[in-house]
Structure 1
């Protein structure tokens, strides 16, 4: 068996999960989730470039508890980080199980496919909750390219889950 003998639905789901993982890891790790003028807010770092005089120097600071406490952001920021971490873990589990499902003959059963479906939709739910928290708390800022990649990964994960459900029903 293998990729060539898999159904079209599984092939699409597999490719979507690979792309989603790549996009989400890049979006997860980069600093431009929300932007405002010359500032960018990521899950793990905040970057400020310019300010009033638009100097070419950019300052990047690590998101730390004392900085979050000082700004009153600790609870919701940590919640966003937690939900996005859960989303990443679930996405990784879905991809791992899908790889085993596609390439290991003994794994071509109903239960691994159910696990893939579960982890895909759990990842989507966790990611969306994280996006909502971050977006609501930083209302008025623009969505940055990092969050755009993470949202695209979320959509691809949802598509992979739907394709897996379709394959399960056939």
Structure 2
């Protein structure tokens, strides 16, 4: 057990600053995206004395959803999957001896970060162009997650260029 802790500690010491930053931003982005696309606060409509109406990607189900909403759902789910893949790959690259330092794992983690950013941002563009109500905090979280993954991908590209 002590040997495993030492191995993890040494792997973190050897990692560059950009790699350490991406190790923080990728899980943060995955959490933010996970909360953002699963919660029902993408839109907010004030109904006066009747209260407030909130809507999310999944409130009406998927069977009768319009095409643009299905596209948004698909891109947000694909973005989350790419986020989880990016997280797994960066952990493999840093901590697992069999894959540590393998260039292909590093390049795949860069591609997964940019795929996550692209899918997430494309989903919010589709949703934002169709919705007529006020956008709410779940939508904002997905916007932030897309930006976090773009930054994570850039951090990894800069790290690769510095080697």
Per-residue CA deviation, residues 44-93 of structure 1 (Å, 9 max, x unaligned), is 12xxxxxxxxxxxxxxxx42423x3xxxxx21111110011110111110
Give the 5 Å matches for 1:153-164.
153-164=145-156
Counterpart for residue 149 of structure 1: 141
Question: How many residue pairs end up in the alignment?
Answer: 147
Which segments of structure 1 move beyond 4 Å, counting only runs of 4 or more?
Answer: none
Please, what TM-score do these two structures have when normalized by structure 2?
0.85
> CA RMSD, aligned part only?
1.3
Instruction: Report if aligned partners of 2:75, 2:119 keep a CA contact under 8 Å in 1.
Output: yes
Counterpart for residue 124 of structure 2: 131
CA distance in 2, matches of 1:64, 1:92: 23
Give the 5 Å matches for 1:55-94.
62-66=60-64, 68=65, 74-94=66-86
Give the 5 Å matches for 1:9-158.
9-37=18-46, 38-45=52-59, 62-66=60-64, 68=65, 74-107=66-99, 108-139=101-132, 141-158=133-150
Counterpart for residue 49 of structure 1: none
Gaps of 5+ in 2: 1-9, 47-51
Instruction: Report if aligned partners of 1:32, 1:144 keep a CA contact under 8 Å in 2.
Output: yes
SS in 2 for 1:36: strand
Q: Per residue, is there more helix in 1 or in 2?
A: 2
Q: Per residue, is there more strand in 1 or in 2?
A: 1
CA distance in 1, matches of 2:97, 2:56: 41
